[in-house]
Amino acid sequence: MSQQDDFSNDDPRLPAPLDLSKWRALPGKLIGIGGLITVAGFLYSWKHDGMVNFGFSWLVAFMFFLSLGLGSLFLVMAHHLFDAGWSVATRRLCEHMASLLFPWLAILFIPIALLAPRIYSWMGPALQASPDHALHAKFPLFTTAGFYIVAGACFAVWWLLSSRLKFWSLKQDETGSVECTQKMRFHSYWGIWLFAFTLTFGAIMWMKALQYQWFSTMYGVQYFASSVWLTLATLYVITMLLDRQRVLSDVLHEHQFYFLGTLLFAFTVFYAYVSFSQYFIIWNANMPEETFWYVVREKGTWFYVGLVIIFGHFFMPFLALLRIDVKSNFALMIPIAAWAWLMHFVDMTFNILPAQFKDGFPFEWIWLPLGIMAFMGGLLAQVFIRKFASASPYPKKDPRLVEAMGLYHPVATQISGGELDQADTRHGAPVQPKGGH
């Protein structure tokens, strides 16, 4: 048996690839159905409340999918900053998802930019004419010009970062040059700083500013934590699917799924830590100009939505992910990932909607954000699939790729430093299924 045969992706011991032809039309259907609901909701909201409820629903869906773009951008930069080996196999997927930030998510931001004076009370004519103290104290950030400059700057940074990182990654596919790795590392280095600032500004200006009187230094970190959490769950499922389809089987090692699961577990705890700290500090500091944000969220059914987040966003995934074998058990990880999508949606509604619906969770309006989610999800999935088809499914000439595959890596390269301890020395070891088959 030649060495090539050991790594062939036609190994009969692996489960057969799934027939996904039925699913091919799904993004198109989502765009169609979601688009219809979106248009209907827009007209209905236009007639009844001057497009305000439509704006809030759009914001929920937008902030949800912005999480995926920003979370992916973070994972790409973290990969380069830590000089990681294992994540080479999944990095291309993150690069594609991050590049959804521009132009696609920027285009999806346009309705928010247009409806901003109706959604954000501080941009309305009354407060613009005579700003109160809470608003005046936040000048010049909380001015109409400030809002649009911040939005422009955020998308500019995200465009520059995601496009540069992807450009050099694709270039390495052709040249295999170490220069590309060094360029990506350079962009990650300056990028991680501006990423932290822009993500925080985005979370503040588009979500927190709905109740502009409030302030919390943890808010950006909380959005960051839940964004990466959602992205990891999504990435896990996509990677698993591509493994099953034999697209990534050659470059995945058993560890990748375990590492993604462990990161998901870590961000479950990190999110809980950040959001609990924010709540605990603000609630016990007893300052009415801060506590009101949580008081609103204890009124009516919002109280129960809060409990759903405490138990569903933290306790359930925390307990479910504790065991070591769960992290590579697909039958458990797929429901957990789906649950993460649901919980992030609930989290976004909890952050955004109480500003408009103070009496409780707007069950009568829930069809609208869900319809817009379907529209945006279908659209972004379509774009993602197109991007995915246009390039190699993984960085095929990355110097760290052999490490990601878990193979013996005997030569110290310019960038590796030659650490051999992580490498799998079982040269020509049989191909094994990575997850819980």
Partner 1 sequence: MSANAKPYGLLAEFDNTADVLHAAEKVRNAGFRCWDVYMPFPIHGMDKAMGLKNSKVGWFSFVGGVTGYTTGMLMIWWMNAVDYKLMIGGKPMFSPNAAFPPSYELTILFGAFGAILGMLFLNRLPRLNHPLLKHKRFGLASHDKFYVVIETADPKYSETETRKLLEAVGSKRIEMVED
Can you tell me the distance from the alpha carbon of 49 to that of 142, in angstroms, rounded to the nearest whole number?
A: 25
Binding window for partner 1 (CB under 8 A); candidates: 68-76, 99-107, 280-288, 384-392: 280-288
Binding window for partner 1 (CB under 8 A); candidates: 72-80, 192-200, 285-293, 362-370: 285-293
Q: Which residue's CB is nearer to partner 1, number 298 or number 359? A: 298
Q: At its nearest, how many Å lie between partner 1 and the CB of residue 210?
A: 19
Can you tell me the distance from the alpha carbon of 413 to that of 422, in angstroms, rounded to the nearest whole number?
A: 15
Instruction: Looking at residues 375 to 394 of the shown chain, list those that interact with partner 1 (rule: CB under 8 A).
Output: none
Binding window for partner 1 (CB under 8 A); candidates: 121-129, 199-207, 276-284, 399-407: 276-284
User: For 63, what's the count of Cα atoms within 13 Å in the CB-facing half-sphere?
Assistant: 32
Q: Which residue's CB is nearer to partner 1, number 292 or number 318? A: 292
Binding window for partner 1 (CB under 8 A); candidates: 63-71, 118-126, 156-164, 290-298: 290-298
Q: At its nearest, how many Å lie between partner 1 and the CB of residue 297?
A: 10
Check binding of 306 to partner 1 (CB under 8 A): yes
Among 291, 329, 382, 416, binds partner 1 (CB under 8 A): 291
Can you tell me the distance from the alpha carbon of 151 to that of 194, in angstroms, rounded to the nearest whole number?
A: 14
Check binding of 12 to partner 1 (CB under 8 A): no
Among 280, 311, 315, 367, binds partner 1 (CB under 8 A): 280
Q: Which residue's CB is nearer to partner 1, number 83 or number 298? A: 298
Check binding of 133 to partner 1 (CB under 8 A): no
Check binding of 433 to partner 1 (CB under 8 A): no
Can you tell me the distance from the alpha carbon of 398 to that of 436, in angstroms, rounded to the nearest whole number?
A: 28
Q: At its nearest, how many Å lie between partner 1 and the CB of residue 378?
A: 37
Check binding of 298 to partner 1 (CB under 8 A): yes
Binding window for partner 1 (CB under 8 A); candidates: 37-45, 281-289, 318-326, 413-421: 281-289
Check binding of 286 to partner 1 (CB under 8 A): yes
Q: What token pair was written down for 289? A: 């100009």
Check binding of 287 to partner 1 (CB under 8 A): yes
Q: What token pair was written down for 120? A: 């954000």
Check binding of 283 to partner 1 (CB under 8 A): yes
Q: Which residue's CB is nearer to partner 1, number 241 or number 310? A: 310
Binding window for partner 1 (CB under 8 A); candidates: 130-138, 179-187, 291-299, 420-428: 291-299
Q: At its nearest, how many Å lie between partner 1 and the CB of residue 283?
A: 5
Check binding of 315 to partner 1 (CB under 8 A): no
Check binding of 139 to partner 1 (CB under 8 A): no
Check binding of 295 to partner 1 (CB under 8 A): yes
Q: Which residue's CB is nearer to partner 1, number 189 or number 304? A: 304
Check binding of 279 to partner 1 (CB under 8 A): yes
Binding window for partner 1 (CB under 8 A); candidates: 23-31, 88-96, 168-176, 283-291: 283-291
Q: What token pair was written down for 386? A: 């197109």
220 neighbors 204 (Cβ within 8 angstroms): yes
- The binding site for partner 1 (CB under 8 A) comprises 279-280, 283-288, 290-292, 295, 298, 306, 310
